[in-house]
């Protein structure tokens, strides 16, 4: 009941935290998709198997670093580069890193697993490597890449709450304030909104995944 009262009394504040949270997710995952898909395409190229192994291994390791530790590591690194070491920037960087693995791995796997017969057919009909990438490999990989993005977004919505530690804004704010001041209602409010956000994002991206799946691949 306290929770409901808290929410009722702080609609605007909670709304702002939610928007901040969403903005953080939006910026970091847009960049993560761009980087992950480009890198995924690159390492899926012929003769780059070793690079691919290394990159995927590193991305895997990244996932195992506790988020707090990663934030802690980023701070000195950024200040050494004369960049803001707290706030939005380190949060975005951390979330990009966390979002990499699912996007990168899915892009890589999807492109590698396109039936070689199709690529052979494309080549045999005089398609250039670029046309094969754009007209065959990518359209076939889109649903799998979308699944990776969905995975990354859901993970990052959770992790973004912790970014409050390094001064980023979002739904982590009520949670950590609540922890400091033993305000259960604030903690639960933050948790509820993070969960709703995650569920909504998951649902919406599932729809998008379906929409982006080429007609002929739907069963």
Closest separation between CB of residue 144 and another protein, Å? 13
- What does the radius of gyration of the chain's CA atoms come to, in whole angstroms? 20
Distance CA 185, CA 140 (A): 47
113 near another protein (CB under 8 A): no
Instruction: Out of 46, 125, 181, 182, point to the residue binding another protein (CB under 8 A).
Output: 125
Q: Minimum Å distance from CB 135 to another protein?
A: 8
d(CA 169, CA 164): 6
Choice between 140 and 194, CB closer to another protein: 140
Residues 6+ apart with CB under 8 A from 193: 14, 17, 18, 21, 171
Q: Kindly tell me which residue out of 35, 127, 154, 198 binds another protein, with binding defined by CB under 8 A.
A: 127
Per CB under 8 A, 47 contacts another protein: no
The residue count of the chain comes to: 219
Would you say 3 or 127 has its CB closer to another protein?
A: 127
Angle at which helices 2-9 and 11-43 cross, to 10°? 90
Binding site for another protein (CB under 8 A): 115, 117-118, 120-128, 131, 135-136, 139-140, 214-217, 219
């Amino acid at each position: 009941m306290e929770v409901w009262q808290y929410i009722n009394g702080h609609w605007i504040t909670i709304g702002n935290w939610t928007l901040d949270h969403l903005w953080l997710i939006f910026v970091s995952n847009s960049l993560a998709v761009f980087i992950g898909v480009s890198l995924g395409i690159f390492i899926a190229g012929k003769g780059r198997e070793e690079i691919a192994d290394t990159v995927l291994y590193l991305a895997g390791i990244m996932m195992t670093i506790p988020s707090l530790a990663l934030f802690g590591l980023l701070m000195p690194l950024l200040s050494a580069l004369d960049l803001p070491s707290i706030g939005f920037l380190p949060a975005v960087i951390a979330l990009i890193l966390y979002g990499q693995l699912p996007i990168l791995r899915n892009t890589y796997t999807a492109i590698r697993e396109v039936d070689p017969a199709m690529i052979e057919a494309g080549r045999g009909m005089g398609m250039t490597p670029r046309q094969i990438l754009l007209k065959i490999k990518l359209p076939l990989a889109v649903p799998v890449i979308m699944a990776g993005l969905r995975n990354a977004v859901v993970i990052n919505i959770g992790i973004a709450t912790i970014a409050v530690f390094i001064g980023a804004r979002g739904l982590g704010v009520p949670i950590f304030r609540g922890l400091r001041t033993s305000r259960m209602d604030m903690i639960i409010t933050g948790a509820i909104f993070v969960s709703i956000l995650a569920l909504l994002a998951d649902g919406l991206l599932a729809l998008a995944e379906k929409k982006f799946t080429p007609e002929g691949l739907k069963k």
